[in-house]
Structure 1
Amino acid sequence: MITLTVFPPMFGETSASSFSTKAIYLMTMAGVPWTRENSSDPRKWPKGKLPAITVDGKVIGDSDGIRAYLEAQGADFDKGLSDLEKSTSRGLIRMAEDHLYYHVMLDRWADDAVWPTIRDAYFADIPKPLRGLITGGLRRNVMKGMHVQGLGRLSPEERLARANQDLEAITTRLWEGPFLFGEQPTLADACVAPVLGGLRSTPVATLLSKRVSEDAVLGAYIDRVDEALGQKS
């Protein structure tokens, strides 16, 4: 039995973390026996991050490490896809995980209207008198990284314009079926849908959360993937 350790559910999502949700989706798709363990403290896990799996006493961290392990055991997350479709899938995954995901972070960590709710939800285990002091340093580090990455230098309006191109590309893919590559979820869905869900579920409305929540096509897609692959407890 594989134990998958992930961040707990939050804001109506399968997990507080898009990458934890991705790992849950992958475990479901792989069809292997597994059990979920929730944790809010990633410090003891590989690279200080979650998700992670424990298999026969061995710990494997990171959602891509989990994917590689499951594929080595025989899982095929792109079953039936052509080489051309697999290359398109890779592009969609990178677009979601290396671009849209940073918009999720900025909506939650950079917006002064959102941050207090995020702080008190993410770090509820830290006593209130210390919470502001400890999380203030964490927030500054995140913002410094986002400034170096580049998106942290943009206004919310500029970020919406950047992200909207990605959202339109995803919507175009969904013209052909319920999932990105047809009738069944593939690796791309397990990666893209959690990031979209993260954008939609930001607990205080932002330009991007409204953009996604008001899009009927994207909203139905997020819900469809989670209904097929999600586990909220």
Structure 2
Amino acid sequence: MITLFSYPDLFGLEDNNPYGLKVFAFLKLCGLPFEHRHTLDAKAAPRGQLPYVDDGGQSIGDSDAIVSHLKRKYRLPIDDALTPFQRDLDLLVRRALDDLYWVMSYSRWRDPRFWTAFRDALLRTHPEIAADDLEAARKYNFDRYHYQGIGRFSPKEVYARGIADLQVVANMTGDRGFLFGPDPNSIDAGVYGFVANIVFYDIDTPLKLFVLSQPNLVRHCHAVRAAMDNRAVSRQPL
């Protein structure tokens, strides 16, 4: 049995972290049975980061590494029809999403306009989480943003960077189907992990306002969700 360990749910999404939601969506789109466990403790995770999966006793971390492992081990055909050019685009989109991650995280933990609403939503949804732990996580994230570099930009510059990433994805997303055709590929799970964590995020950050101005991104998000719902259902632990 595959077990996915990822951050807690929020705003009706199975994971409030885009990478964990990406893996969740990938598993669902491929119809693989799995158990989903929410945690904040990453000590058992490879590299000490969430998400990770335990696949028959083998632990795999990093969302891209997880997807590669699952495709290889279970001979999943989800990306078999991609052309070499589409595989290159897949990589470039994933790298743009990696850049977008920092802006999304900044909007939740760093920007004082949105931090308290995000904190309160977490505490309301998960009363077992201590407010002091969130404050400690916020301080830790401040350090991460500084050393990564995004913490040295003004808020206006930060959001301009994230919106530029989203604009590229919006430009690639048509009015029908998925990024590379009528059926979803693994890149659609990746895009969903990020866009859903903006669309369903119940706080009007600049990222959300931009996504809502792009009907094709919203349509794509709901199309992936519908495709996930038509596949196998994960099993929550008792």
TM-score by length of 1: 0.86
How far does residue 176 in structure 1 lie from its aligned partner after superposition?
6.7
CA contact (8 A) 2:5 2:52 kept: yes
Distance apart, 1:169 and its partner CA: 1.7
| CA distances 1:52-84 after superposition (whole Å, capped 9, x unpaired) | 222223322232232122122112332211101
Change (3 A) 1:56 1:166: closer
Match of 1:22 in 2: 22
Secondary structure, counterpart of 1:199 in structure 2: helix
Q: Is the 8 A contact 1:157 1:207 kept in 2?
A: no
Unaligned ranges ≥5, structure 2: none
Asked if 2 retains the 8 angstrom alpha-carbon contact of 1:18 and 1:194, the reply is yes
Could you tell me how far apart the structure 1 residues matched to 2:134 and 2:6 are? 21
Decide whether the 8 Å contact of 1:107 with 1:202 is kept in 2: no
Distance (Å, rounded) in 2 between the aligned partners of 1:144 and 1:7 = 20
**Paired AA for residue 8 in structure 1:** P
> Given that residues 103 and 199 in structure 1 are in contact (C-alpha distance below 8 angstroms), is that contact kept between their aligned partners in structure 2?
no
- Equivalent positions of 1:65-80 (< 5 A) are 65-73=65-73, 74-80=75-81
Structure 1 residues 113 and 165: alpha-carbon distance in aligned structure 2, compared to 1, 3 A threshold = closer
Unaligned regions of 5+ residues in structure 1, if any? none
- Contact 2:111–2:155 (CA under 8 A) maintained in structure 1: no
Q: Is this contact kept in 2: 1:9–1:16, CA < 8 A?
A: yes
Q: Which moved more, 1:114-123 or 1:137-146?
A: 114-123
The alpha carbon displacement at 1:213 in A equals 2.6
Give the superposition deviation at 1:139.
1.4
User: Does 2:130 align with 1:94?
Assistant: no
Secondary structure of the 1:188 match is helix
1:146 aligned partner: 145
Q: In 2, Cα distance between the equivalents of 1:167 and 1:135?
A: 28
User: Larger deviation: 223-232 or 65-74?
Assistant: 223-232
- SS of the aligned residue for 1:54 comes to strand
- 2:107 is equivalent to residue 107 of structure 1: yes
Equivalenced residue count is 228
Pick closer, same or farther for the CA change 1:7–1:141 going to 2, 3 Å. Answer: closer
Deviations 1:81-129 (A, max 9, x none): 1101110111011101x211111100000111322233341674244xx
Identity %: 28
Q: Name the structure 1 match of 2:60.
A: 60
- Deviation string for 1:34-68 (max 9, x for gaps)? 22233343333333322222222332223223212
- Give the letter for the 1:198 counterpart: N
**Which one-letter code corresponds to 1:111 in the other structure?**
D
Classify 1:203/1:147 alpha carbon distance in 2 versus 1 (closer, same or farther; 3 Å). farther
RMSD: 2.4
